[in-house]
Amino acid sequence: MSTQDFLPENVRKLPPGELFQFRCHPGVDCFTDCCRQLELALTPYDVLRLKQALKLTSSEFLERHAVIEQEQEDVFPMVYLGMVDDGRASCPFVTSEGCIIYKDRPGACRVYPLGRAAFQNPDGKVGDFHVLITEPHCHGFQEKKEQGLGDWIQDQGLEPYNEFNDLVLSVIQHDKVKQGAQFTEDQIKKYMISLYDIDAFANLIKQPEFKGLDSFPEVSREDIIGDDKALLRFGISWIRHELFGE
């Protein structure tokens, strides 16, 4: 069986090199329809960009805008963007003029109408493929513009999103997770703070009793405090050390 056999009818694997016809702009008659009635899972890098755009701390962002769901108490939670209760489940950042945080919109919004499936191979390297999602409400497919995947990734500013999402895979698709590892409440709290609540993580690192840097002699407090990307990079390494002893 091929990957395509597992995909819904309106989702098609995009072969490398194939062009797809699509353009989204404020003139389309469906403008912002895709910003309602959606389930938007947030990655750690999405939260980093959103909290910066909104000039909030990560704790404030999570408190105001995130819905955290955990299927079982010993597995990693999922973080979703909380939608507005306006009868249309609108994104809190959509207006009639478009997205107010467009420059920092989440990766899923950028990649649409494509979707990216990434996976960690046994050798630790990340593989991926993209799918094209054709939804009836989206009229961008009728626009006369063709592009390939590489252009789309570049135009939509997806590189840093893919880079950080791939790093996070080394945690969420770790072999021990695939084998059904169960985590304690304390480990889950560490997972959330190091990946999603990086300002709280920075405060933790500032405390002299925090010994998590001892295993990373190449990392200094001064280098990562105040640099969100460096903090998240360190958070990913630290949580791997805490959960998997790496």
Choices 41-49, 133-141, 156-164, 187-195; region in contact with ligand SF4 by CB under 6 A: 133-141
**Which pair of structure tokens corresponds to residue 19?**
């062009």
d(CA 196, CA 47): 7
CB closer to ligand SF4, 64 vs 206: 64
d(CA 147, CA 125): 27
d(CA 113, CA 135): 8
CB closer to ligand SF4, 33 vs 242: 33
Residues 28-47, one symbol each (x = binds ligand SF4 by CB under 6 A, - = not), give x-xxxxxx------------
Smallest separation, CB 91 to ligand SF4 (Å): 3
Angle between helix 44-53 and helix 198-206 axes, rounded to 10 deg: 90
The answer to the question of residue 99 lying near ligand SF4 (CB under 6 A) is: yes
d(CA 91, CA 95): 9
Q: Which residues pair with 99 in a beta bridge?
A: 94
How many residues bind ligand SF4 (CB under 6 A)? The answer is 21
CB closer to ligand SF4, 46 vs 239: 46
Residues 196-215, one symbol each (x = binds ligand SF4 by CB under 6 A, - = not), give --------------------
CB closer to ligand SF4, 161 vs 191: 161
Using a CB cutoff of 8 Å and minimum separation of 24, what contacts does 213-218 make? Answer: 215/241, 216/241
Using a CB cutoff of 8 Å and minimum separation of 24, what contacts does 4-8 make? Answer: 7/131
**Which pair of structure tokens corresponds to residue 142?**
């009728």
d(CA 245, CA 239): 9
Choices 89-97, 203-211, 212-220, 231-239; region in contact with ligand SF4 by CB under 6 A: 89-97
Q: Which positions from 135 through 174 interact with ligand SF4, judged by CB under 6 A?
A: 137-140
Tell which one of 47, 91, 153, 236 touches ligand SF4 (CB under 6 A).
91
d(CA 231, CA 212): 13
Tell which one of 109, 153, 167, 192 touches ligand SF4 (CB under 6 A).
109
Residue numbers at the binding site for ligand SF4 (CB under 6 A): 24, 28, 30-35, 91, 93-94, 99, 101, 105-106, 109, 112, 137-140
